[in-house]
Amino acid sequence: MPRYALKVEYHGGPFSGWQRQAGQPSVQEAVETALRALDPDQPGIAAAGRTDAGVHATGQVAHADLARDWDPFRLSEALNWHLKPAPVAVLAACRVPDAFHARFSATERRYLFRLIARRAPLTHDKGLAWQVLNPLDAGAMRNAAAHLIGRHDFTTFRSALCQSASPVKTLDEITIEEVALPQGMEYRFRLRARSFLHNQVRSIVGTLERVGAGAWRPDRVKDALEAKDRAACGPVCPPQGLYLTGVSYPADPFA
């Protein structure tokens, strides 16, 4: 069966997450339903990351095996037709070798978290960003984030439900960008690693927000990391500001 990689974008608001769950709407189910409109015997798909309920994606990658050869452009067009009206879109499709696996072949995952500080309620960005009322100290957050770069035991920033075999991960990058808005300020946290623990990004951003708000000093993040204790973590931030923006492979299947 020919194997195809799919680059998928979605608004996570209506879904219980990426992964199929009995009795709950999922992004995986939406894509598989569209695929089975083209191939009733399609066995299912695998994705690079199992995003949680409410989390969005602009660059999720999945792979699917189909019974016949498809022109990649026609495949993406057909899938997008059958995905309507769900807030899910296939941005690109391409033929890949049988050895390609969306999850296990990945060498890097990239996330964006959007945090908006303003007094007025969000309108256009409602459900697409986390809102706080007061401006944050981006310099203090950058100083705190520097303690997390590199290879560490991230037990403090790991959900109790995490199924990863080890809490040790290598965090390659955290950048914090400030974007002035007509009313308020947006802070964009970009994180890059080969893989992440369950709730790791939201735990890190929630903790850094406490630093930016002045409730934590920057070196307390180092102490929390070294504690290797979930109780030392700051609050876990809400999911609606989180986006899976990209996945890298040894050879870019969409190049």
Catalytic positions are: 52
Question: Mapped to the 3 state alphabet, what secondary structure does 146-211 carry?
Answer: HHHCEEEECHHHCCCCCCCCCCEEEEEEEEEEEEECCCCEEEEEEEEECCCCCCHHHHHHHHHHHH
Contact between residue 61 and residue 102 where contact means Cβ atoms under 8 Å apart? yes
Phi, psi torsion values for 71, nearest 5 degrees: -65, 125
d(CA 93, CA 62): 10
Kindly report the number of other CB atoms within 10 A of residue 25's CB atom. Answer: 14
Tokens of 51: 């995003």
d(CA 120, CA 237): 20
- Could you tell me the sign of the dihedral formed by the alpha carbons of 111, 168, 229, 147, in that order? negative
User: Hunting for tokens 């020919």 — which residue is that?
Assistant: 2
Kindly give, in sequence order, each residue whose CB lies less than 8 Å from that of residue 141, ignoring residues fewer than 6 positions away: 176, 187, 208, 209, 211, 212, 218
